[in-house]
């Protein structure tokens, strides 16, 4: 019950990669990769849809009617194309599960988007760290509420706040004395010549 209270129905979904989708005539059916069970009804883990609101993704499960603001594990897939592999693979970066078959959890439009996106990942030029999903430091978005108020929402963590995030307060300036650019944080007063880790993330394409 604690899990349900904290996360709702999503806490009891099958693990990503459990279900595969097949067609019979004009109908789709689902097969459990572990038990070989087949069913016509949509498993809850395969019922997530992604919608966009003010540039923020909202996730809706049309079976359980649950709405969440952070990406569910069932949709956390990457289409990995690597020259050292014989064929592309689907990789769930939350559970570390990998498979060749298209995951049954993914809606059709997201399958195409992820295949076009390919093996993209985030790389931190300051720390050398790598991440499959957008790092929390740069996942802040401005949102306008129904009263016109502006607040910040973190798409990765689900946190919201009125004050500007510290990680978003870095500014680039030029030092006449040193004759080079530097960065300073207008909230903390911290300064650095190298790009600070919170804003040093860039998108890379190949593994």
Query: DSSP string covering 56-91, please?
Result: EEEEEETTT--EESS--GGG-EEEE--TTSSS-EEE
Q: What is the distance between the alpha carbons of residues 10 and 14, in angstroms, rounded to a whole number?
A: 9
180 DSSP β-pair partners: 175
Q: Tell whether the torsion through CA atoms of 191, 153, 128 and 121 is positive or negative.
A: negative
Provide the residue-wise pLDDT of the chain in tens; the chain has 207 residues. Answer: 444 445 678 888 999 999 999 999 899 999 999 999 999 999 999 999 999 988 899 999 999 999 999 999 999 999 998 777 778 999 999 999 999 999 999 999 999 999 998 889 999 999 999 999 999 999 999 999 889 999 999 999 999 999 999 999 999 999 988 889 999 999 999 999 989 999 999 999 865
Q: Look at residues 120, 117, 95 and name the one whose alpha carbon lies nearest to residue 105.
A: 95
For residue 134, give every residue at least 6 positions away whose Cβ sits within 8 Å of its Cβ, in sequence order, or none: 122, 155, 156
Percentages helix, strand, coil for the chain (3-state, rounded to 5) are: 15, 35, 45
């Amino acid at each position: 019950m604690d899990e349900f209270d904290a996360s709702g129905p999503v806490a009891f979904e099958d693990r990503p990669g459990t279900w595969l989708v097949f067609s019979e005539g004009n109908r789709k059916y689902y097969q459990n990769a572990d038990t070989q069970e087949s069913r016509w009804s949509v498993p809850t883990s395969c019922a997530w849809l992604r919608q966009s609101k003010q540039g923020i993704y909202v996730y809706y499960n049309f079976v359980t009617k649950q709405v969440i603001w952070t990406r569910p594990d069932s949709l956390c897939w990457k289409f990995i194309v690597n020259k050292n592999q014989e064929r592309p693979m689907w990789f769930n970066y939350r559970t570390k599960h990998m498979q060749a078959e298209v995951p049954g959890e993914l809606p059709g439009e997201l399958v195409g988007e992820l295949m076009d996106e390919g093996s993209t990942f985030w790389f931190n030029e300051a720390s050398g760290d790598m991440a499959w999903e957008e790092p929390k430091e740069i996942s802040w978005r401005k949102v306008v509420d129904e009263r016109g108020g502006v607040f910040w929402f973190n798409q990765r963590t689900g946190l919201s706040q009125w004050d500007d995030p510290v990680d978003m307060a870095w500014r680039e300036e030029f030092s006449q004395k040193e004759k080079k650019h530097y960065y300073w944080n207008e909230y903390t007063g911290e300064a650095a010549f190298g790009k600070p880790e919170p804003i040093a993330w860039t998108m890379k394409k190949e593994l």
